Every structure is written in structure tokens, then in C-alpha cells.
């Protein structure tokens, strides 16, 4: 769908990683993080699994059933600059190999269970604000964390509400 026709999900279903409290605090200290932004919703999206407002009622139970037995290794995620586009976001100049490997494994796992309604977002990012602030791009002290679990979140568009629908622990890193 062309970007000009894209509209935010009303009830988006996402696999995401939420930073641990010390990292959330670090993000909250960034000058470009709006003071009114609720840190409890800050996340890095791993996969989008559709808009529940536009999908059959059985979509969520189908996703939950498809995820049974999913296993993957923990991975690191890393951000080294703030980029301004349609939103202001943390981004990385490095390739996110761990996240890319995780995404491929999850997409393959779901496809093997005949679940194909998956959208792999572009480069990993964490949205700081959902509008522009006019300050452009800038480097930051790196922010990174180990992703030990992923969550299945229903995000209610325009309501600043996240509803947890599932949670999966990842295998610990052996390094």
C-alpha cells in the first residue's frame, strides 16, 4: 500500500520488545523524549501481525495457537542515534543481526503453522515522539539491551493503550 494511503492500525497486533527499567530511564532522560510520553509503552516492534479491527474475530486466537511451542535465543538490540522523519526515533547505524535472525525464525515458525499475516517492519527503531520536532538527526551515547522476552501487544490506536496478549521467554545467551 502506498505511504499516502497508509493509516495507523486501530487495534494493531505486534510482537515487541520492551526495554528494561534502567534503559527506559536512560531513554526518558533524552532531551527529545516528550515529558508526557508514558515510558510504559516504549518498545521496539519486531513484527506486525495485523489490525484486529479489520480482521476476523479468530485472528488473535489463531496467532496465540500458532505461537505455541515457539523457541528462540535472546538477542541484543542497539541504537546509536536519533533520526527525524515522520516521527522522532532511536535508530542504529549497525545491522541488527540478532533481531533480524529472530524475525526470520519467527516468520518461518509462523509460516510452518499456516499463519502468513506477518509484516516485518523496516529497520529496528524505538519511537520517541509521533511527530517531528524540527531538530533533525543527531548521534547519541549508544543505548542497548538484551531482549530476553517478547510480548504480543494489542495497541489501541490513538488511545495510548497497550494490552498484553502473550509473552514468551527467550533462551538465554551463552556468552
How high is the mean pLDDT in each 10-residue block of the chain (175 residues)?
Answer: 51 92 94 87 89 89 91 95 95 93 92 82 86 96 96 83 93 74
Closest CA to 136 of 88, 79, 93: 88
Q: What's the confidence (pLDDT) of residue 1?
A: 38
Domain coordinates in residue numbering, the chain? 3-169
Q: What's the confidence (pLDDT) of residue 4?
A: 36
How far is the C-alpha of 66 from the C-alpha of 28, rounded, in Å? Answer: 35
| Contact indicator for 138, 79 with CB cutoff of 8 Å | no
Residue 83 corresponds to which cell in the numbers above? Answer: 533520526
Residue 166 corresponds to which cell in the numbers above? Answer: 502473550
Q: What's the confidence (pLDDT) of residue 158?
A: 67
Could you count the other beta carbons within 10 Å of the beta carbon of residue 69?
7
Q: What's the confidence (pLDDT) of residue 35?
A: 84
Q: What's the confidence (pLDDT) of residue 108?
A: 92
Measure CA 17 to chain center: 6
Tell me which CATH code domain 3-169 carries. 3.90.1140.10
Amino acid at each position: 500500500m502506498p505511504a499516502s494511503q497508509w493509516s495507523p492500525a486501530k487495534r494493531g497486533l505486534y510482537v515487541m520488545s520492551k526495554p528494561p527499567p534502567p534503559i527506559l530511564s536512560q531513554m526518558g532522560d533524552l532531551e527529545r523524549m516528550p515529558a508526557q510520553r508514558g515510558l510504559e509503552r516504549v518498545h521496539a516492534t519486531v513484527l506486525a501481525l495485523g489490525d484486529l479491527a479489520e480482521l476476523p474475530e479468530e485472528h488473535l486466537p489463531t496467532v496465540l495457537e500458532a505461537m505455541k511451542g515457539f523457541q528462540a535465543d535472546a538477542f541484543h538490540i542497539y541504537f546509536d542515534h536519533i533520526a527525524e522523519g515522520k516521527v522522532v526515533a532511536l535508530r542504529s547505524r549497525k545491522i541488527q543481526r540478532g533481531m533480524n535472525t529472530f524475525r526470520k525464525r519467527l516468520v518461518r515458525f509462523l509460516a510452518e503453522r499456516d499463519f502468513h499475516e506477518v509484516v516485518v517492519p523496516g529497520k529496528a527503531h524505538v519511537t520517541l515522539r509521533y511527530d517531528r520536532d524540527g531538530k533533525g538527526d543527531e548521534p547519541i551515547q549508544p543505548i542497548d539491551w538484551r531482549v530476553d522476552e517478547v510480548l504480543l501487544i494489542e495497541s489501541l490506536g490513538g488511545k495510548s493503550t497497550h494490552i498484553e496478549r502473550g509473552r514468551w521467554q527467550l533462551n538465554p545467551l551463552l556468552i
